[in-house]
Amino acid sequence: MTDRKPVHLAVYDTLADWETGHATAHLARAGYRIRTVGPSTDPVTSIGGLRIQPDTALDDVRPEDSSLLILPGAGLWDTGDDLGPFARKARAFLDAGVPVAAICGATAGLAREGLLDDRDHTSAVSFYLAATGYAGGERYVETDAVTDANLVTAGPTEPVAFAREILRLLEVYEGEVLDAWYRLFHDSDAAAYAVLEKAGAA
């Protein structure tokens, strides 16, 4: 597990704290190093007031050195182009065949970048993305989370489904174990714990 490339988690002011915790916690448990990526290495502050010191700056991140780029939501996605460089970095990742996972406002950033025009995707609601003027409305799917090739998307109320798709994409859990993981954390299904324990995933 030590030879796995790290997962890069984007961090920026107003980021939504609650959206990526399930994914990063279970990726870390599976042996992935989580590296935070900011606009620079200056500290950022989440919407919940958490002060985060990025491990590295966005300009220094290369797709070939990463297993995945995770883009959380943030108020800044909807107030200008401050986070546009993160959407452009997502394009570089996808062009290189490296997965990207975007949730909440980050999906609007990808829509503005044209990355959802030709891929199945979801978000908070369809009209939220339609307001970006993107051309991918016909590919919008009304569901909790969507994976199309190397791109995962989800809305802000679905952090567990978002994590499920990431864990599936990186083959951390599969089949019955992945289903049990989702039932435990999304539905509080205590019976699912026994499946995870048997698989050594509890």
165 residue type, one letter: E
Rounded-to-10 torsion of CA 146, 141, 180, 152: 10
87 as an active site residue: the answer is no
Q: Which of 44, 104, 146, 170 is catalytic?
A: 104
Which class for 85: exposed (0-12), middle (13-18), buried (19 or more C-beta within 10 A)? Answer: middle
Residues with active-site annotation: 104
